Chains A and B, each alone.
Chain A
């Protein structure tokens, strides 16, 4: 392949630069927020928020507003509903997430139908659900980066209380942590992260950017901060690598390129498998019970 030859053209292209900026921001935020999400066993909730945000994205096409506002509004609303219900039992939480997800997707179905019939935007379904990084308008970049900054700041602020809460809610409460406020802040940061991710790789693939790098990093890292840094590296690598490969793919099958989302998700999945292989090797992880404290 002619990777080296095309580098100057690659960076000269405006859509590519926008994709690199927005995709990079999304990958960074998703990695950091994703670590906390996986640790709190909220992968399903994160996935549901991303899927539900597609209704917002479709509404944005219908109303002809900035799609990021659509994704954000819907994700934040769904996060609010799920946190407001405040269900302690894990089983109920799972079900409620499923129900919110189903209702949100139903709404997305209707709005996409209207996009196609009322507005005649036939490609909306594909753009909203699977993303199209190279068509992100330049006007979105400052807003996207601002959203990324807010989400990162929120995650940094609640870093320690959130860790204690993931150990045990009662433990955190006894220490004076305002558990619900912390959980709500995290849910909103999650909503910001998935809407950015939905802008980049599409609503139903957003989970990959959120969960994949974090899950891979959590397999290897021993400390929360190193997990976040590792996840950020994996996410950035996969996103930028995916953009490069998608750009290249125009040369592989003349006429049309392969979807960026495909490359990003595949790279993330490979990173996850490699992390699992590395964690499985002897010596990288401490043995389960080094001193014989089980049994007399």
Chain B
């Protein structure tokens, strides 16, 4: 499991998990689970287009993530965010099927893109993931306080009045970046499990925001490592373990829940 050909998998999965855990903290705080699901899945035709045009997959994913941000941000004006996310998602997935239909490699690539493929990550991919990951994390550090403040200052008010559009762009942008790097590894369908599960569990273990962020990152990394190890041992798809372990995080958080969960009860 620690053979040379697995080295890239471990490194990339760790980087992806760190970013996903950190971004997930804000996804949970801002109640943006649907957007976190729709952006990665909506980026999926980007990979299909990239293979059709013969360019880098990461580039295709990044372009479609950005398109997704623009589409969701524009569609949700005067409309419900969830409707905007749902429609963008459906449209881009439909486009994805069309593009994949044109490029020859239909079934295997669909499966890999949706559910993840940790093996066969090249050196170049690894560098791309590292670069974009650093950018995403730096943006997160820069905007951490406003993003957190906005999610704390009255959910009801925010839901009624709407949030500051500029911060929403920043947030969706960070989400898009982490999407682009995470999709090839854990798959478009399961990126957001890695964001939502560990981060929602982390709220239960501590009341302090930055400690909760750290717990979220740690849980995400643990989930990713365990998923790769189990996948290697059982030969079952890595996405299965990511999904199930993330759900297990949430359940564990609720069972020994403190903080928000206890107050809500």
Chains A, B in direct contact (C-beta < 8 Å): yes
What per-residue 1/0 map shows which CB atoms of A182-212 lie under 8 Å from chain B? 0000000000000000000000110110011
Q: Using a Cβ–Cβ cut-off of 8 Å, how many residues does chain B contribute to the interface with A? A: 53
- Asked if A266 lies at the interface with its beta carbon under 8 angstroms from chain B, I say yes
A:34-51 near B, CB below 8 Å? 38, 41, 43-44, 46-47, 51
Given contacts A43-B83, A94-B34, A113-B240, contact A105 B193 (CB under 8 A): yes
Q: Which of B107-115, B126-134, B170-178, B205-213 contacts A (4 or more CB under 8 A)?
A: B107-115
**Shortest Cβ distance from residue B220 to the other chain A in the assembled complex, whole angstroms:** 13
B:239-254 near A, CB below 8 Å? 239-244, 246-247, 250
Given contacts A109-B239, A129-B114, contact A262 B95 (CB under 8 A): yes
Query: Interface residue tally of chain A, by bracket?
Result: 35 or more
- Asked if B121 lies at the interface with its beta carbon under 8 angstroms from chain A, I say no
Establish whether residues A109 and B115, one from each chain, have CB atoms under 8 Å apart when the complex forms: yes
Given contacts A89-B264, A99-B247, contact A208 B192 (CB under 8 A): no
Establish whether residues A208 and B264, one from each chain, have CB atoms under 8 Å apart when the complex forms: no
The CA-CA distance from A38 to B79 in the complex, in Å, is: 11
- Asked if B237 lies at the interface with its beta carbon under 8 angstroms from chain A, I say yes
Establish whether residues B242 and A44, one from each chain, have CB atoms under 8 Å apart when the complex forms: no
Given contacts A47-B89, A105-B243, contact A262 B33 (CB under 8 A): no
Establish whether residues A130 and B264, one from each chain, have CB atoms under 8 Å apart when the complex forms: no
Establish whether residues A102 and B86, one from each chain, have CB atoms under 8 Å apart when the complex forms: no
Establish whether residues A97 and B86, one from each chain, have CB atoms under 8 Å apart when the complex forms: no
**Shortest Cβ distance from residue A112 to the other chain B in the assembled complex, whole angstroms:** 7
The contact of B97 among A108, A109, A259, by CB within 8 Å, is: A259
* Residues of A close to B163: CB separation below 8 A: none
- Asked if A91 lies at the interface with its beta carbon under 8 angstroms from chain B, I say yes
Establish whether residues B111 and A102, one from each chain, have CB atoms under 8 Å apart when the complex forms: no
Establish whether residues A125 and B111, one from each chain, have CB atoms under 8 Å apart when the complex forms: yes
B:146-179 near A, CB below 8 Å? 155, 159
Establish whether residues A266 and B197, one from each chain, have CB atoms under 8 Å apart when the complex forms: no
B:218-256 near A, CB below 8 Å? 236-237, 239-244, 246-247, 250
The interface centre, meaning the residue of A46, A109, A207, A272 with most chain B CB atoms within 10 A of its CB, is A109
**Shortest Cβ distance from residue A98 to the other chain B in the assembled complex, whole angstroms:** 4
- Asked if A106 lies at the interface with its beta carbon under 8 angstroms from chain B, I say yes
Establish whether residues B196 and A102, one from each chain, have CB atoms under 8 Å apart when the complex forms: yes
The CA-CA distance from A31 to B242 in the complex, in Å, is: 34
**Shortest Cβ distance from residue B110 to the other chain A in the assembled complex, whole angstroms:** 6
- Asked if A256 lies at the interface with its beta carbon under 8 angstroms from chain B, I say yes
- Asked if A258 lies at the interface with its beta carbon under 8 angstroms from chain B, I say yes
Chain B, residue nearest A270 (CB): B91
The CA-CA distance from A67 to B265 in the complex, in Å, is: 39
* Residues of B close to A72: CB separation below 8 A: none
* Residues of B close to A10: CB separation below 8 A: none
* Residues of B close to A109: CB separation below 8 A: 114-116, 187, 189-190, 237, 239-240, 243
The CA-CA distance from A125 to B109 in the complex, in Å, is: 11
Establish whether residues B34 and A47, one from each chain, have CB atoms under 8 Å apart when the complex forms: yes
The interface centre, meaning the residue of A103, A105, A262, A272 with most chain B CB atoms within 10 A of its CB, is A105
Establish whether residues B33 and A97, one from each chain, have CB atoms under 8 Å apart when the complex forms: yes
A:73-106 near B, CB below 8 Å? 87-92, 94-106
Establish whether residues A207 and B90, one from each chain, have CB atoms under 8 Å apart when the complex forms: yes
* Residues of B close to A105: CB separation below 8 A: 115, 189-190, 193, 239, 243
The interface centre, meaning the residue of A46, A96, A106, A256 with most chain B CB atoms within 10 A of its CB, is A106
**Shortest Cβ distance from residue A134 to the other chain B in the assembled complex, whole angstroms:** 14
The CA-CA distance from A114 to B54 in the complex, in Å, is: 31
Establish whether residues A102 and B247, one from each chain, have CB atoms under 8 Å apart when the complex forms: yes
Write 22 A-B pairs (CB below 8 A) sorted by A numbering. A89-B264, A95-B250, A98-B37, A98-B192, A105-B193, A106-B190, A106-B240, A107-B243, A108-B189, A109-B114, A109-B189, A110-B237, A110-B240, A113-B237, A126-B107, A126-B110, A208-B90, A208-B94, A261-B94, A262-B94, A262-B98, A265-B93
Sample of 11 more A-B contacts, CB < 8 Å, known A43-B80, A98-B33, A130-B110: A43-B34, A44-B86, A95-B33, A98-B196, A100-B247, A103-B243, A106-B193, A109-B237, A113-B237, A123-B107, A265-B93
